[in-house]
Every structure is written in C-alpha cells, then in structure tokens.
Amino acid sequence: MRIVDTHCHLNDPLFAGKLEGVIERSKESGVTAFIVPSYDLDSLARTEELSRKYPEIYPAFGIHPWFASEGADISLVEKYSRENRTVAIGEIGLDFSEEIRVDRESQIRLFVEQVELAINLNLPVLIHCRRAHNEIFEILKRYEFRIKGVMHSFSGNQEMLTKFLSLGFYISFSGAVTRTHAKKYHKNAKNIPEDRILFETDSPAIATRSVKAEDVEPRHILEVIEFVAALRGTTSERLASCSTRNAMELFRINLL
C-alpha cells in the first residue's frame, strides 16, 4: 500500500536533524511520498533543498496568509516554482481568525496573486482557510474551471463542502477529523465522494487523537485514514488507495 501525505511541513525547523528517521519510519508505515509546501520566504529555499535531496519529497511553493503583511513578493515564489519539479502553489489562502493580526486586504491581494500564478503555471493550489470559506469560494469562482486544488485540513460545513466540490476541488482530512467532538468534520468525511478525498498530517502542526502536534510525523496519517474508514464503514486500504490515486491525478505524480 502506497500512501501520499498530501500536506506535511518536513521543511519545519522542528524536523531539522531528524528528518532521515522521520522519512524512514514513514516508509516503513507505507507512506512513500510527501507533498511539502513552503509557507514564508525563508522556507522557500529549505523546501527546494529538501526536494533535491529526497526524491520522495514533492515541493510546493507559496506564501501563507499569516505572512502576507511582511512585504511578501511572489516573484521568488514564481522563480522557485519554475525552476523545480513543483507540484503545486502553496501553502496559500486566507485566515480571518481573530488572533491573526494580518489585515484582510493584504491577505486577499496575496492570495489572488498566487492563484493567478498557479493558473499561469498550470499548477494546482494548496489552500489554507480559516473563517474565510465564503470569501475563498467567491474568489475561486471567478476562475472556475481554470484552477484546481485542495482545501487542506478542511474545516467548513456541509454547504461549503458542496460548493468547493462544485468547483472541482479536492478535500483533505488531517488529524483534526479524529477528535471525538469534531462532528462537523465527521459528517464531511462520511459524505465526500471517494474521487475527491485526500489525507494529510500537516505535521508538525495538527495533533491526532493519540499524538500531540509536535510529535506528529507523516506515518501518523494511518490514524487519520483508519478513523475515516471506520466512519464510512469501509477499509483503510480502500481509502488509502483512493487518496493515492487522487493525489497522483491532482499533482501529476507517478508512484507506480
């Protein structure tokens, strides 16, 4: 069984010095490919370096909305995306949570610039979204049928799930879905079509029910898959196969 962790930050400094072990343990668990998105300007170079060193790491380049106010210039994102075996533009998006002190106008401007870059480069997008589902949907709707991508660690309701599916987007589930009281996530995971489902860890940012966030590695994606399989009354092998097939199609990677 080959599994793709479709969103993990192996470029995070927390993994420095121990990445060899992380990748080895993941492979032993069946996780053989990793989509690794950048998030700020400094992480662009780290992401490139890792993708050159480890062929199983597939890079995505983008600026996260948390860093939209730091004079983010997407010319570097474009440079890295053109020069490497890039599979997506990301991590990009909008975050309108109260604790995020980045003005909405800067976030929206950066998001739109990167969506248009993805269209120009014929790449999908990896989208971070918190408390901005309607805004992101309305922006993406302008580019309907011109842009594909994934709503990473999706936190929207059933109505928004349907809307993003109507745009041709994939929906990814992380350790958040394994939380006992995450009923909205459970409902989404039960209802999403098999041909649109993806799995991820977002390591080291999102805990699973049994592993705290800073200890999460790509191998822990198995807990996510097993949990969703139980919700759907199917096997983890079937869902892992669906997710891998979907990831290969979206990111245009060949794992056979």
**Parts of the chain with a pLDDT under 50:** none
* Model pLDDT, residue 256: 67
pLDDT tens for residues 19-69?
999 999 999 999 999 999 999 999 999 999 999 999 999 999 999 999 997
Q: How far is CA 101 from the centre of its chain?
A: 23
Q: Report how far residue 23's alpha carbon sits from residue 99's, in angstroms, rounded to the nearest whole number.
A: 33
How many whole angstroms separate alpha carbon 3 and alpha carbon 5?
7
Q: How far apart are CA 108 and CA 184, in angstroms?
A: 26
* CATH numbers and ranges of domains, the chain: 3-251 (3.20.20.140)
Query: Quick one: pLDDT at residue 71?
Result: 66
- pTM listed for this prediction: 0.96
The phi and psi torsions of 220 (rounded to 5 degrees) equal -75, 0
149: CB partners within 8 A, 6+ apart: 88, 90, 118, 124, 125, 126, 127, 169, 170, 250
Determine the pLDDT at residue 69.
79
pLDDT at 123: 98
Round to whole Å and give the CA distance between 77 and 86: 11
**pLDDT of the residue at 72:** 74
